[in-house]
Chain A
Amino acid sequence: MAFLAQFKHCLITRALVRRAWLAALSSLLLLGGILAGAQEFVAPEQTVKAAFLYNFAKFVEWPTNSFAASNSDLVIGVLGKDPFGQTLDETVAGRRVDGHPVVIARYRQIGEATNCHVLFLASSEKKNLPRILAELKTRAVLTVSDIEDFAAAGGLIQLVKRGERIQFKINAEAAGRSQLKFSSKLLRLSIPDGV
């Protein structure tokens, strides 16, 4: 109901429109409310990408020494100019992966990203890509980005927009070399090489 109250507040402060118009608009909103009861299958791009980040964490196994304890945090880091805003925090709020609470960290430089498990590279890092990937090469970090040709450049998972949907590519060779274990489901759902 807060939604309606807020809306009415916006409207009532304006005496521009006659009462009939108010009635008409509110009815439209009621209609909107009913329609909104339907199930959610459409979402802003960043929301879907944020959900992917969390989901990837569920299908990858880290070496045991990546976690101090069985209940220590699983850190999803964002490097560079954060495209998610609050969306990512809301996505993972109160969630756990394999007993590890999921938390978000944000870094300006790769040097700060010392303790993360998943690292999203924002598009602002495009020109630093080779240096960042070189630095992470020996560490058990799942690198994800929507930068073009990220997988080809040595990144592990690249988010790709195909039509109106988000899909992902995995650099199978880099995945094999890394200390991470990718579930077969993840590999199966990814866009095959050469597409």
Chain B
Amino acid sequence: MNTLMPPRPLAAQLDRAGVLSLTLLALTLGMPAARADSALESATKNPSICDFDLEQLMRVKVISVSKREEELSAAPAAIYVISGEDLQRSGVTTLADALRGVPGLDVARIDAHRWAVSSRGFNNELASKLLVLDDGRSVYTPLFSGVYWDTFDRMFEDVDRIEVIRGPGATLWGANAVNGVINLISKSAKDTQGLLFSAGGGTEEEGFVSARYGGKIGDNAYARVYGKFFNRDESVLANGTGANDDWWMSRGGFRVDWDVNDTSLMTFQGDVYDGMEHQVRTEVIATSPYLVTARHTDHVEGGNLLARWTRTFSPDSELSLQTYYDHSERESGLPLERRDLFDLDLQHRCSLVPRNVAVWGVGYRLTADDVDNSFAVSLNPDRRTTHVFSAFIQDEIAVVEDCLHLTLGTKLEHNDFTAWEVQPGARLAWTPCESQTFWASISRAVRTPSRAEDDVRLNFPADATGTNLFSILGDRSGLSEELIAYEIGYRAVLNPKVSVDLALFYNDYEHLRSLEPVTPPATPPPALFALASANNLAGETQGAELSLRAHVVEWWELTGSYTYLHQSLRAVAGFDATTAATLEGSAPQHQFSLRSQMNLPRGWQFDAGLRYVDQLSNPHVPSYITFDVRLAWQVNDRLQISVVGRDLAESQHAEFGASPVSAAPATEVERSVYGKLTWRF
């Protein structure tokens, strides 16, 4: 089953789409050969910035290549980094929207406060194969193995970068990092000193304000505190009427970074948030009139505390210990979901044998929930505590120093759902010239069952009146979804200004989740028919992801990306294929994005982004193309004024369709404009 697909059919498959080759060739049309040659010659010479005088030198923009980034650029994996500056200049106001344009990712807004975000296919609100970390803290909810994107937020000015790794990250990060890992990394408190205040508003962003203060609290210790608030307008239904899903959220937090001594670094951080989200839902109730459509006001709140200690013994040896606690309370589908999460991780990187760098670690996570059930949505039992114990080891072997590196590793995990899981991986990186890397990998990853897949009962109306029910049931005998992933990639930094990244993958899945007809449960209320969670789907996905970044001239940067995805899923013989069709049709086949950032004279910035997203087939959503623009003026050292227009192409467009069993409708995204002022003191 899991044989390595020969490369030729993969390339042929991609070529059938043909779009990528065409796009690239189109880029070069009309380029005279002689001119290209002389340009290439000049590219081989490295113009010396030594000829610059002091003033010119002080204007040179440095490409900060941190140790981590150096590692990333040579890493044998499909990696994309959104810098803090890119984030702020994209004009987005939510982290989910910030991920648009990242090759391999699919971001679709379902309504004003719900998003479907996935990597390499299988997109829906409960997209389950993507792990999201906020400064090392998992924001993946064990309830349905997805992410609550509404409560994943930050003060954007404090974000250092967002690293997106497509493909399995299971060897290091563990179960559920099946198709990707997103890691938000915030700046050290040392780099966010002083006072910053920003505020603004517009058509969809009805009002937002945020403030941060950073100070030095000791000889080697820095701290910051922040707070932010926003109020967002409702989205619209297809017919243009309001969807009654407006929301607000307030949030605050702190971070302390303390250089205990030359070798030890302590970080403490924490956040609290509190918000109110409106949603119109149609749900069944036990008594007449059985079916009720109402506008709900859902309260969400939570907080977390994290401590991390890092000790560097030598450049090759580093130990880190991290622990966090996270509490959340949420009203939505369930009347109330309370969750406590405790996590402890130890990691050690060392080089015991020459030309080998080993990383090993152990971890423990406890999750305890306590829910209030309704007639429509219930979990049985209504309280459950689960534990995950894990250990991993990974060794990077320099087969040929600075040229050929082999990384072997595995994670061993014990969870309360499926007991033991082994997730090994092998990666090979070939760096023939300093600036180029070819890589290939084979890895296994699993997605363990969620609490809902084990214990849920959902009741839906089986007819227009709601007097008869059908039920969807969890099943505790469920298996983990399994993936064997084959990837190859190529990355080149052609000079400090142009870089190319290409990744191809072939994913082979087994035991994917499906819903199968079962005898209705004996427990009340009686249901006319019922579906239960099972693992009867299998299939393959394949795709290509290309990104290109170019500093056209000193003041102009262009970033482009193209994503191709083909999903082919089927039910195991004898089982129903409905779920396969829904999953297959949930992600676009082609996506294209182009972003431009211009630094103009007198402190002006002009940024624009264009994106095309192919149609979704099930439920049907037409393809769309839209663009955003941002104009900003740095008035002086302290004040910046900006105006942002988003989704400008149409007055409204749909990005995702509601699933047949969704209680709330999918809505459309409106064209919007907002203005913003930022002061720094």
Could you list which residues of chain A lie within 8 angstroms of chain B, going by C-beta atoms?
Answer: 1-4, 6-7, 9-10, 14, 16-18, 20-21, 23-25, 27-45, 47-48, 51-52, 54-55, 59, 90-92, 95, 126-127, 161, 164-167, 185-186, 189
Q: Does B564 contact A (CB under 8 A)?
A: no
Contact with A along B58-72 (1 / 0, CB 8 A): 111111110000000
Instruction: Tally the A-B contacts, defined by beta carbons under 8 Å.
Output: 183
* B contact residues around A37 at 8 Å (CB): 38-39, 42-43
* B contact residues around A55 at 8 Å (CB): 50, 52-54, 57
Given contacts A30-B31, A32-B495, contact A24 B39 (CB under 8 A): no
* A contact residues around B463 at 8 Å (CB): none
* A contact residues around B401 at 8 Å (CB): none
Number of residues from B at the complex interface, CB < 8 A: 62
Which B-chain residue is minimally distant from A56 (CB atoms)? B54
Q: Are A27 and B27 in contact (CB under 8 A)?
A: yes
Q: Are A34 and B31 in contact (CB under 8 A)?
A: yes
Which A-chain residue is minimally distant from B494 (CB atoms)? A32
* A contact residues around B28 at 8 Å (CB): 27-28, 30-31
Q: Are A164 and B55 in contact (CB under 8 A)?
A: no
Q: Does B525 contact A (CB under 8 A)?
A: no
Q: Are B21 and A21 in contact (CB under 8 A)?
A: yes
Q: Are A41 and B498 in contact (CB under 8 A)?
A: no
* B contact residues around A186 at 8 Å (CB): 54
Distance from B6 Cβ to chain A, minimum over Cβ atoms (Å): 10
Residue contacts A-B, CB under 8 angstroms, 27 given: A1-B44, A21-B11, A27-B27, A27-B28, A30-B28, A30-B31, A32-B495, A33-B39, A33-B43, A33-B494, A34-B31, A35-B498, A35-B551, A36-B495, A37-B38, A38-B551, A40-B496, A42-B61, A43-B60, A43-B61, A44-B65, A44-B496, A52-B57, A55-B50, A164-B61, A189-B55, A189-B58
Q: Are A47 and B551 in contact (CB under 8 A)?
A: no
Contact with A along B32-53 (1 / 0, CB 8 A): 0001111111111001111011
Distance from B161 Cβ to chain A, minimum over Cβ atoms (Å): 13
Please report the C-alpha to C-alpha distance between residue A124 and residue B37 in the assembled complex, in whole angstroms: 44
Of all A-B residue pairs in the complex, the 6 with the closest CB atoms, nearest first, are: A41-B554, A36-B43, A33-B40, A24-B24, A27-B28, A32-B498
Distance from A42 Cβ to chain B, minimum over Cβ atoms (Å): 5
Q: Are B25 and A35 in contact (CB under 8 A)?
A: no
Please report the C-alpha to C-alpha distance between residue A127 and residue B670 in the assembled complex, in whole angstroms: 57
Could you list which residues of chain B lie within 8 angstroms of chain A, going by C-beta atoms?
Answer: 7-8, 11-12, 15, 20-21, 24-25, 27-28, 31, 35-44, 47-50, 52-55, 57-65, 85, 262, 432-433, 436, 438, 488, 490, 492, 494-498, 500, 502, 548, 550-555
Q: Are A48 and B62 in contact (CB under 8 A)?
A: yes
* B contact residues around A21 at 8 Å (CB): 11, 21
Distance from A122 Cβ to chain B, minimum over Cβ atoms (Å): 13
Q: Are A10 and B48 in contact (CB under 8 A)?
A: no
Which B-chain residue is minimally distant from A34 (CB atoms)? B39
* B contact residues around A90 at 8 Å (CB): 48
* A contact residues around B438 at 8 Å (CB): 10, 14
* A contact residues around B49 at 8 Å (CB): 40, 43, 47-48, 51
Distance from A118 Cβ to chain B, minimum over Cβ atoms (Å): 14
Of the listed residues A10, A43, A90, A126, the one surrounded by the most CB atoms of chain B closer than 10 A to its CB is: A43
Distance from A50 Cβ to chain B, minimum over Cβ atoms (Å): 8
Please report the C-alpha to C-alpha distance between residue A40 and residue B50 in the assembled complex, in whole angstroms: 11
Q: Are B262 and A2 in contact (CB under 8 A)?
A: no
Please report the C-alpha to C-alpha distance between residue A95 and residue B48 in the assembled complex, in whole angstroms: 12
Name A165's contact: one of B59, B550, B551 (CB within 8 Å).
B59
* B contact residues around A28 at 8 Å (CB): 24, 27-28, 500, 548
Q: Are A51 and B61 in contact (CB under 8 A)?
A: no
Please report the C-alpha to C-alpha distance between residue A48 and residue B554 in the assembled complex, in whole angstroms: 15
* B contact residues around A43 at 8 Å (CB): 49, 60-63, 496
Q: Are A42 and B60 in contact (CB under 8 A)?
A: yes
* B contact residues around A165 at 8 Å (CB): 58-62
* A contact residues around B54 at 8 Å (CB): 52, 55, 59, 185-186, 189
Name A27's contact: one of B25, B495, B554 (CB within 8 Å).
B25
